Structure 1
C-alpha cells in the first residue's frame, strides 16, 4: 500500500471518532518513526495540514513534533531525526512553531522537585503505586544509573511533561512506538497505561490498530503484541 493511501485510511478512521480525532496523526507518526519510516512523516504532515489555517497547522505541528521527540527515548534519537529533519525541511519560516515546553519551564524556574513529583505521579498511575515503587527499588538496587535514566530523566523530564500532550496522548503514542520498535511486553504495559491514565478501551484499541497497520506496511513484526481484549487492565504485578 502506498503511504498516502495508508495515511488517508488512517485519517478517515481517526477523524470519525471524537476520541481519536486530534490524535490519529501523532499515533501514526510515532509508529512510523519507530518503524524506521521517518522520512514519510513529512508526507503525513502535508496530508494532515492540507487546507488548514496557519494557526491550526502550527497546532498540528506542535503536537506531532512533541510526539516524535517524546517517544525518541523508546526507539532512539537517530530514528527520531529521520522523521524530524525531513519535516523541518518542508517548513517555510512563517510556518515554524517555535515552542519547547521543557525549555520554557526551565527558563521560568520549574524546580527539580516539581518535575520529580510529576514524574512520580505519572509512573504511579501507569503501574499503580505499589508496583511502581517496586520497579523503582529494583532499578536502583541493580543499577543506580538505570534509575537515573529511566525514572528520573525519562519520566520526570520527558514522558510526564503534559503541556502539549496529555497523559492519554502520551500513552497512545508510546504504545504505537513500542509496537513498531519490537517491544511487545512494554507495548502491553503502555496500552494498559492508556486506560489507567483515563483513556478508553476504544482509544487503546485504536492505538494498537494504527501501529499494526503502520508496522505491517513497513515490515515490522507485530505478531507478539498482546491485543487489547487479552490485557488485564487491573493487573498490578511488579515486573
Structure 2
C-alpha cells in the first residue's frame, strides 16, 4: 500500500539577478517586429514579378494587367498565401505611394480573388486575402462591399448569360448541353459563375476578368476549359501573339511553383476554333 506523501512547496521570489538578461518584447512590439520581418519582398518573388511586368510591357494590354495574372496564378498555386508578396511588391511602386492609390489597388486584387472563387474554390482565395490583410496598413484598407444586395434574379441571369455568350458565342448552347443530365452545373454556370462572379463590372473589366479566368484554369492543368478560355480571350479581340504571351506567363509562374502544365493546349492548337 502506498503512503501519502505531502510535499510543501517553499515560496520562491525572483530577484533581479534571476531575470533574463535579454529584453522581453511586449505583445505590440512583437507584432510590429513580425510585421517588419514579413514586409520585405523575397528576392525570388521580386524577380518573378519584374519578369511578368516586363513581358506585359510589350503588349497593348495595359500596365495594370500583369498583376491580375500574377494574382490568379498565385491563388491557383500550391502557395496562395504568397499573394502577400505580390501586394508588398506593388505597394513599393511609386504609383501606389498613397493610401488612396493602395485602396484602389487592393480593390482590384480583391476582385481578382473573388472572381477566382468559382475557378479554384473558396479556400485558396481566403488564404490569399488573409495574407494580404496581414501586411496591409490600417490607412490602406478599403471597406467597400461590391456584392452587397446581390440577388439571383432575372437581371443577374441576363448579365451572366450576356457575358457567357460573349465568350462562347456559337459554342454556348452546345457547352451548356453537356450538362443536360447534370442541370445543377448549367444553372451554376449561368447564375453563379457568370451571374454573381464573372459578369460583375464594378471593379474589373472584360480583359481583366479573362486574366483571372484563363490563367486560373490553365494553372490547374485543365485541358477542356483551358481550350474554351484561350478561345474566349481571342474572341474578346486580344491578338493571338498577346494570348500566347499570357500562356507563356502562366507557364512561367507554374514553373516557379514547380507545377507541370502538360495537358493544356497551346494557343496555336486552339486557333482553328476561334
Q: TM-score, normalised by structure 2?
A: 0.77
More helix by share: 1
Tell me which residue corresponds to 2:209: 170
Displacement, 1:124? 1.0
Indicate if the aligned counterparts of 1:70 and 1:158 stay in contact, CA closer than 8 A: yes
Q: Secondary structure at the match of 1:142?
A: coil
Matched, 1:190 2:229: yes
Tell me which residue corresponds to 2:20: none
Tell me which residue corresponds to 1:131: 171
| Superposed CA offset, 1:5-45 (max 9, x none) | 11121122224544141110010111011012212111111
Q: State the distance in 1 between where 2:126 and 2:57 align.
A: 27
Q: State the distance in 2 between where 1:61 and 1:18 align.
A: 23
Mapping of 1:144-183 within 5 angstroms? 144-183=183-222
Matched, 1:28 2:70: yes
Tell me which residue corresponds to 1:118: 159
Of 24-33 and 93-102, deviating more is 93-102
Q: Secondary structure at the match of 2:259?
A: coil
| Superposed CA offset, 1:52-102 (max 9, x none) | 232222222111111111012111111112211100111122211222322
Tell me which residue corresponds to 1:37: 79
Tell me which residue corresponds to 1:90: 135
Q: State the distance in 2 between where 1:233 and 1:165 align.
A: 29
Indicate if the aligned counterparts of 1:192 and 1:233 stay in contact, CA closer than 8 A: no
The change in CA–CA distance for 1:66 and 1:202 in structure 2 (over 3 A counts) is farther
Pick the aligned partner of 1:70 from 115, 118, 140. 115
Displacement, 1:185? 2.1
Indicate if the aligned counterparts of 1:27 and 1:173 stay in contact, CA closer than 8 A: yes
Q: State the distance in 2 between where 1:156 and 1:181 align.
A: 23
The change in CA–CA distance for 1:120 and 1:2 in structure 2 (over 3 A counts) is same
The change in CA–CA distance for 1:136 and 1:216 in structure 2 (over 3 A counts) is same
Q: Secondary structure at the match of 2:226?
A: helix
Of 26-35 and 146-155, deviating more is 146-155
Q: TM-score, normalised by structure 1?
A: 0.87
Greater relative CO, 1 or 2 (CA 8 Å, sep 6+): 1
Indicate if the aligned counterparts of 2:157 and 2:190 stay in contact, CA closer than 8 A: no
Which consecutive aligned stretches of 4+ in structure 1 deviate over 4 angstroms post-superposition? Answer: none
Tell me which residue corresponds to 1:228: 267
Larger radius of gyration: 2
Tell me which residue corresponds to 1:14: 56
Q: How many residues align?
A: 229
Q: State the distance in 2 between where 1:233 and 1:83 align.
A: 37
Q: Secondary structure at the match of 1:232?
A: helix
Which stretches in structure 1 are left out of the alignment for 5+ residues?
none
Aligned residues: CA RMSD: 2.0
Which stretches in structure 2 are left out of the alignment for 5+ residues?
1-42
